[in-house]
């Protein structure tokens, strides 16, 4: 059993999939988000979509960073995480505008004061204001903030997004076919709509990253920051402190800030692509939970996905792997490894997609291809080995 499992989490969410196996898959089973007929207005040419997600255990890292440094603004990044984990999933079915968002914040009032709530709520509105400047309209509908100290050790920040969208403008992944290439968009660097360097960590695998990267002293000082029933051999076993610094692009950046880089949204890029190149986009995958194996759930049955030109993993993933001693197979199943959005398209159309992304200072390149196969499988090629995942293991 790997460390990830010993900490009570699963990159592949096997038990969740088992619990939900009997649910209706919606109108388009391969679509990235479940899609239903338009019950709001009863129009056969439109659909309703609702999606729920959150910042996950990244909020614990924010808690530790805030306690260590006093910097309450770090919570604005957690607000962005909770939004983008919803927004960029909706992007994968083609939705980029006229979206409703409702937040859910559960806190332990004794540990999380009003200043933290204000930072999260203010950060939410600031993000929406910034996206409006790119023509993306998201209405903040309020939400629920509950004091549930008996349930939550510190704080959980989640949200729900909903939209009504025309069927004719949906991406359902049904067009993905052998012969397609995959254009990958990077989650690291600094897009024109970001204020600072983004490590690319996003909001998945943070339980592993936190315990493998941070020093034992955090468990001793902050019992509220972890499940105290865990074996102490898997709790905060790393070499780093949150304020330790590392040199990136001639800048000294704290380990804590790298782990807390707000999840990059691709909505400014994807809005332009979906408006101007909709017909060239055959499928979209957000490499979130499940990392680089996420695509296996949404591609057709008899294809082989070959990823042989992924971005070189940015420094944060190298630091995590060095600290955890995890093999490449586990790393690519847990983390996005720097490549977070996949666009399936014709080879002849790849260049226009890449050039559009680069206008926003978001690196893009052809990362792989779709091949015919007798069974569904994924092959990830890196410098050291070929990693092969079949449908069951992914």
Rounded CA gap, 153 and 114, in Å? Answer: 16
Q: Are 130 and 193 in contact (CB under 8 A)?
A: yes
Average pLDDT, the chain: 94
CATH of domain 3-196+261-390: 3.30.1330.10
Rounded CA gap, 276 and 298, in Å? Answer: 24
Residue 16, pLDDT score = 56
Rounded CA gap, 86 and 365, in Å? Answer: 24
Going by pLDDT thresholds of 50, 70 and 90, the confidence category of residue 299 is very high
In this predicted model, what pLDDT tens digit does every residue of 53-62 receive, in sequence order?
A: 999 999 999 9
Pairing of strands 138-147, 99-107: parallel
Side-chain half-sphere of 291: how many Cα atoms within 13 Å?
Answer: 26
Block residue for tokens 């592993």: 208
Rounded CA gap, 103 and 8, in Å? Answer: 26
Rounded CA gap, 234 and 216, in Å? Answer: 10
Phi-psi region of 72 (alpha: psi -120 to 50; beta: other; left: phi over 0): alpha
Lowest mean pLDDT among 210-219, 248-257, 258-267: 248-257
In this predicted model, what pLDDT tens digit does every residue of 312-344 receive, in sequence order?
A: 999 999 999 999 999 999 999 999 999 999 999
Task: Look at residue 19 and tell me whether its pLDDT is greater than 50.
Answer: yes
Mean pLDDT throughout 208-221?
Answer: 96
Backbone angles phi, psi at 74, to 5 degrees: -60, -25
Rounded CA gap, 255 and 214, in Å? Answer: 9
Going by pLDDT thresholds of 50, 70 and 90, the confidence category of residue 23 is confident
Task: Look at residue 13 and tell me whether its pLDDT is greater than 60.
Answer: no
Domain extent listing, the chain: 3-196+261-390
Task: Judge residue 371's burial from the number of C-beta atoms within 10 Å of its C-beta, 0-12 exposed, 13-18 middle, 19 or more buried.
Answer: middle
In this predicted model, what pLDDT tens digit does every residue of 362-388 receive, in sequence order?
A: 999 999 999 999 999 999 999 889 999
Residue 11, pLDDT score = 54
Helix H segments across the chain?
Answer: 3-6, 14-19, 58-69, 74-91, 114-132, 206-213, 217-221, 255-259, 267-276, 315-324, 328-334, 350-359
Mean pLDDT throughout 137-157?
Answer: 97
Going by pLDDT thresholds of 50, 70 and 90, the confidence category of residue 1 is very low
**Cross-strand partners of 286:** 341
In this predicted model, what pLDDT tens digit does every residue of 112-126 receive, in sequence order?
A: 999 999 999 999 999
In this predicted model, what pLDDT tens digit does every residue of 99-113 receive, in sequence order?
A: 999 999 999 999 999
**In the structure encoding, which two tokens stand for residue 74, read together?**
């770090």
């Amino acid at each position: 059993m790997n460390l990830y499992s010993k900490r009570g989490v699963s990159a592949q969410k096997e038990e969740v999939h088992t619990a939900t196996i009997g649910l209706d898959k919606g109108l388009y089973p391969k679509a990235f988000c479940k899609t239903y007929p338009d019950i709001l207005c009863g129009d056969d040419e439109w659909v309703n979509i609702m999606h729920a997600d959150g910042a996950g255990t990244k909020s614990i890292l924010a808690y530790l960073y805030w306690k260590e440094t006093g910097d309450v603004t770090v919570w604005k990044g957690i607000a962005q995480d909770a939004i983008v984990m919803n927004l960029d999933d909706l992007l994968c079915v083609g939705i980029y505008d006229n979206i409703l968002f409702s937040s859910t914040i559960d806190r332990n009032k004794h540990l999380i004061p009003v200043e933290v709530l204000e930072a999260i709520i203010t950060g939410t509105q600031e993000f929406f204001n910034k996206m409006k400047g790119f023509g993306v309209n998201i209405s903040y509908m309020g939400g629920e903030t509950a004091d549930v100290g008996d349930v939550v050790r510190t704080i959980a920040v989640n949200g729900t997004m909903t939209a009504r969208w025309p069927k004719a403008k949906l991406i359902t992944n049904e067009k993905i076919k052998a012969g397609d290439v995959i254009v990958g968009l990077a989650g690291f660097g600094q897009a024109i709509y970001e204020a600072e360097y983004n490590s690319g960590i996003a909001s998945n695998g943070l339980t592993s990253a936190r315990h493998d990267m941070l020093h034992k002293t955090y468990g001793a000082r902050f019992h509220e920051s972890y499940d105290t029933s865990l074996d102490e051999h898997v709790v905060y076993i790393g070499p780093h402190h949150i304020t330790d610094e590392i040199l990136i692009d001639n800048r000294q950046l704290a380990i804590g800030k790298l782990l807390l880089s707000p999840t990059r949204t691709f909505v400014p890029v994807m809005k332009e692509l979906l408006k101007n190149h909709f017909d060239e986009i055959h499928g979209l995958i957000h490499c979130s939970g499940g990392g680089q194996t996420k695509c296996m759930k949404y591609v057709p049955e008899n294809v082989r996905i070959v990823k042989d030109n992924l971005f070189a993993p940015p420094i944060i993933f190298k630091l995590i792997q060095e600290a955890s001693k995890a093999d490449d197979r586990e790393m690519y199943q847990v983390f996005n490894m720097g490549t977070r959005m996949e666009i399936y398209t014709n080879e002849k159309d790849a260049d226009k997609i890449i050039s559009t992304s680069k206008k926003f200072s978001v690196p893009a390149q052809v990362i792989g291809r779709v091949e015919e196969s007798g069974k569904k499988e994924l092959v990830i090629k890196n410098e050291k080995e070929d990693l092969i995942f079949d449908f069951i293991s992914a």
